[in-house]
Structure 1
């Protein structure tokens, strides 16, 4: 059973999300928060697996709240498809970013994907994330990049291009276990929380152009 905490300042939306999530046999809502500060406090108390996090909330916004969370995966839901929100949320440690007009079935799938340890971005967000880093004239130094092996760099490039584990396995002719080992090494060496942050690291480092 995947435990979900809903953080949104609109009570009607929280109720709608609760009804949607609680209808699924493998998902359950363990709490609701109306502010970012409340989300952080409840996450510590209730230990959810996934937090559905709004961006614009009183007292503390969703990006700052995400930065303070330690443990649960964060899926950001917002009506505002703005670059600063996307990049801020991902750098803070969010594992996914979706707009609130996402169809219900896709939202439920996203919760499961994020809970399983994967990352998820809406197609429009992914395209804009890539174009933004390609457009930037200079890239900051990514800590840990010099520690990567050539094979790990290959895997990082494929992750940045949106390849799944199965696709990486087929392209590099290696086993599933080997791919998982490489990804684990990348996460550790680049101090990344998940695949979303690996994508950011790949573009910020200049490995992908």
Structure 2
């Protein structure tokens, strides 16, 4: 059993889930991971936002559908916490909405608890995690331009100059490309895009 010392450096997580049985199952399952501390559970967007303001969690584990609204539309209200959305809907169109709203991750409720724990750790560290079943099939025109320049060996500075973008915007595009392709690095994203015909 995890002790207080084990959880000293744990990722602080707020769970926002309206179904008691699901919330309790997640609480019990995540208790097996000492690197995760579930600080509180809320059952609506409003109570979740209030809890996030009070507790300042690193990650908010947010159910996609809640009684008082669509979780994706409310992602910005949980800042500065990183938001990982749980969904039962395996529809890749959700992914673009989540990324546009500033979400850090999207995972299916049907997944393994070990994968959820890994996703929590990854988003807490600044990454973006999208379940492979929820990856969109294509990139936007701008994302293709950025990826083509990466494939040509360009770094962030050069991409920013050639496309007249701020460096932060370039990094945002790269984060989206990695999320959409399921890649862990720029080189892996280029390899995936060439295999699938996303870029030449």
Q: Same fold (TM over 0.5)?
A: yes
CA distance in 1: counterparts of 2:166 and 2:47, whole angstroms:
33
1:116-173: CA deviations, max 9, x gaps? 11111111212xx1x244xxxxx5778xxx9x8x9x941xx69xxxxxxxxxxxxx6x
Other-structure match for 2:56: 47
**Deviation >4 Å, runs of 4+:** 139-142, 197-200
Aligned equivalent of 2:195: none
Which string of whole-angstrom CA distances, capped at 9 and with x for unpartnered residues, describes residues 18-71 of structure 1? 112222111111111111222222111111111111111011221122132211
Please tell me whether residue 195 in structure 1 is matched to residue 166 in structure 2: no
Q: Is 1:111 aligned to residue 91 of structure 2?
A: no
Contact 1:90 1:197 survives alignment (8 Å) = no
Q: Which runs of 5+ in 2 are unaligned?
A: 1-9, 160-164, 181-188, 190-197
Number of residues of Structure 1 aligned to a counterpart in Structure 2: 168
> Which structure 1 residue ranges, 5 or more long, are not aligned?
134-138, 159-171, 173-177, 203-207
Change (3 A) 1:110 1:198: closer
**Residues 1:197 and 1:29: Cα distance change in structure 2 (over 3 Å):** farther
Q: Does the 8 A contact of 2:84 with 2:103 survive in 1? A: yes
- Structure 2 matches for 1:68-107, cutoff 5 A? 68-107=77-116
Give RMSD over aligned pairs.
Answer: 3.6
SS of the residue 2:80 aligns to = coil
